[in-house]
Amino acid sequence: MFLFSDESLQLHRYLKSRLHFRFKKIFLASPFYEPSYLTEKHPFGRFIFRAKDDCTDINIVVKEMDDTTLPVFEKLQKSGINCFFYPRLHTKLYVFETDSSLHSKYARTDSTAILGSANMTSRGWHLDSGPSNEELCIRLEGKQVGVALRYANTLMRKSTPFDIARRRPANRIKVRAKEA
């Protein structure tokens, strides 16, 4: 199923619908991100922290962090959310793996992955009011979610974990991509 970010706001509605379920795993990869989306001040951030409280395995891969976003990632990491940095990242992949034992047998809570052009920003996801970009994503289901999770694991292996990245100046995180 295609998800568009145009005036019908299909991507926006689909992402908001995920906020009400419980998950086994959540994986978010986006080179560009809205730091507020990863804080408890934003509804999506509250969802992430609530999911972690429910023992969800959460991994986030972004292109880079700097001194202004360091506190955001410190809070995520202290909460048990794994953060990674990959300077060559261009992928926009969001995986929500459900655990059917956590939901009513009548609820449609299939695992899903969203792959496409939308960055994790207000213009990409359009979770906030304001202008949005023209984005196109596809929703993957079934066995395709497993393929997406395997790719997610590959991205994490190629990335620098937060504990190592925090000890480097932000510009060294960017230089690593040129060396690779």
Q: Which structure tokens are listed for 115?
A: 């792959």
CATH code of residue 72: 3.30.870.10
Amino acid at 8: S
pLDDT at 109: 60
Tokens 């951030």 -> residue: 45
pLDDT of residue 86: 96
- pTM of the entire predicted model: 0.85
Q: pLDDT tens for residues 68-121?
A: 999 999 999 999 999 999 999 999 999 999 876 665 555 556 788 999 999 999
pLDDT at 7: 44
**What is the domain range of residue 38?**
2-179
Q: What are the residue ranges in the chain where pLDDT is below 70?
A: 1-12, 100-109, 169-180
Structural domain count, the chain = 1
Give one DSSP letter per residue of 98-148, joined into a string. E-GGGS-TTS----EEEEES--BSHHHH--SSS-----EEEEEETHHHHHH
Q: What is the number of other CB atoms lying within 10 angstroms of the CB of residue 106?
A: 6
Dihedral of the alpha carbons of 86, 80, 57, 90, in degrees to the nearest 10? -20
Please report the pLDDT score of residue 102 as a whole number: 60
